[in-house]
Amino acid sequence: MSNTKGQIGYHLLAAVVVLIWGCTFVNSKVLLMHGLSAHEIFALRFFFAYLCIWTISPRRLWANSLKDELLFVLLGMTGGSMYFVTENEAVRIDYVNNVSFIVCTAPLLTTLLALAFLKSVKANKGLVLGSVAAVLGVALVVFNGQFMLKLNPLGDILALSAALCWAVYSLLLRKMADYNVVFVTRKVFFYGLLTVLPVFLIHPWQFPLEDFLKPAVWANLLFLGFVASFGCFVLWSWVSKRLGALKASNYIYLNPVSTVVFSALVLDEPMTLLAYVGSALILVGVYLSNQGVPHFNPFAYGAKFRTRKSGRSS
């Protein structure tokens, strides 16, 4: 019980981070409307975040092994370049409702991957009921009572690719428990930027530099870079380390709640009764899913590493 009480703060942080990320759909949409491309938006937000994190990051450059360094490359791709480019491109060409709904299946995909590859995770009543309730809640919130799912195959596939990238990122992140969370986040930013460079060879930079003077452009970029990337990624790495990949990932279901609320406040789009019901279902689903997740010691990987290391030195 004391352990559960001690984790309340981490659960609240996870919810806050995801609620902030839910607002970024609007920020990205505004930037896309002003002419920035998906990969340009990603490169700028991660570049700003990378500059910020060097002010607090440990000065070490490399991981403990080549294997870990390669894992950081995968983290930079799945949680950085591949995820954001596919998501932003999906937002550009697809219906926002479709993208919001499909991207928010990331926790479900994370659970399915964990069930397939992690022996410690077993399907149980809480996990199944919670996932079903949360997905149903997401559908009610995203479509806001308008059940008209319009298919856009390419956009939907890109959104599903983004969700799958985040699921893989969540599970890979648990292997980095031996490292400082700020160091992990800095490596994600670096390899995210590095792996997006080939996209610029195919689609070179086209956004006019003078357009950065527009308040709508620089304000949204600053929010995406400093708040949604620098601040939120550091907090997310910390929360994932404390709660475990599955429990932290379940909070992604809250993403559309803040999207709808933010739209209601900024765009004056009122929420329907079904949206309120959906929000309640999401909260119930997240709670049930987290109760159904088996206890996992997020420091186990790091402890084993330190034990083997100390064993060799003695």
pLDDT at position 271? 61
Is residue 107 classed exposed, middle or buried when 0-12, 13-18 and 19+ CB atoms within 10 A define those classes? buried
Compute how many other C-beta atoms are within 10 angstroms of the C-beta atom of residue 131. Answer: 23
Instruction: Identify the band that residue 144 occupies on the pLDDT scale cut at 50, 70 and 90.
Output: low
Quote the strand ranges of 115-242, DSSP E: none
CA dist 28 and 174 (Å) reads 28
In this predicted model, what pLDDT tens digit does every residue of 151-199 receive, in sequence order? 567 887 898 899 899 999 988 988 888 898 899 999 999 999 999 999 9
Query: Residue 109 in contact with residue 250, Cβ under 8 Å?
Result: no
> Looking at per-residue confidence, does 180 or 269 come out higher?
180
Please give the mean pLDDT across all residues of the chain.
80
Distances in Å between the Cα of 181 and the Cα atoms of 37, 114, 235, 242, 252 are 30, 22, 8, 11, 20
> Looking at per-residue confidence, does 153 or 87 come out higher?
87
Query: Residue 159 in contact with residue 84, Cβ under 8 Å?
Result: no
pLDDT at position 302? 40
CA dist 105 and 113 (Å) reads 12
pLDDT at 281 over 80: no
Query: Which of the residue ranges 87-101, 171-185, 220-234 would you say has the lowest mean pLDDT?
Result: 87-101
DSSP-derived secondary structure for 221-276: HHIIIIIIIIIHHHHHHHHHHHH-HHHHHHGGGGHHHHHHHHHHHHS--PPPHHHH
Compute how many other C-beta atoms are within 10 angstroms of the C-beta atom of residue 309. Answer: 12
CA dist 98 and 90 (Å) reads 9
pLDDT at position 102? 77
Instruction: Identify the band that residue 294 occupies on the pLDDT scale cut at 50, 70 and 90.
Output: low
Most confident of 97-111, 121-135, 207-221, 265-279: 207-221
pLDDT at 74 over 90: yes
pLDDT at position 270? 60
Q: CB under 8 Å to 210, separation ≥6 — which residues?
A: none
pLDDT at 134 over 90: no
pLDDT at 217 over 70: yes
pLDDT at position 157? 84
CA dist 36 and 30 (Å) reads 9
Query: Residue 278 in contact with residue 139, Cβ under 8 Å?
Result: yes
Six-digit token string for 2: 């004391």
pLDDT at 272 over 80: no
pLDDT at position 24? 84
CA dist 36 and 245 (Å) reads 33
pLDDT at position 155? 81
CA dist 175 and 173 (Å) reads 5
Six-digit token string for 300: 């186990």
In this predicted model, what pLDDT tens digit does every residue of 2-46 receive, in sequence order? 455 557 888 889 989 988 988 887 788 889 889 999 999 999 999
Compute how many other C-beta atoms are within 10 angstroms of the C-beta atom of residue 17. Answer: 23
CA dist 21 and 4 (Å) reads 25
Query: Residue 130 in contact with residue 285, Cβ under 8 Å?
Result: yes
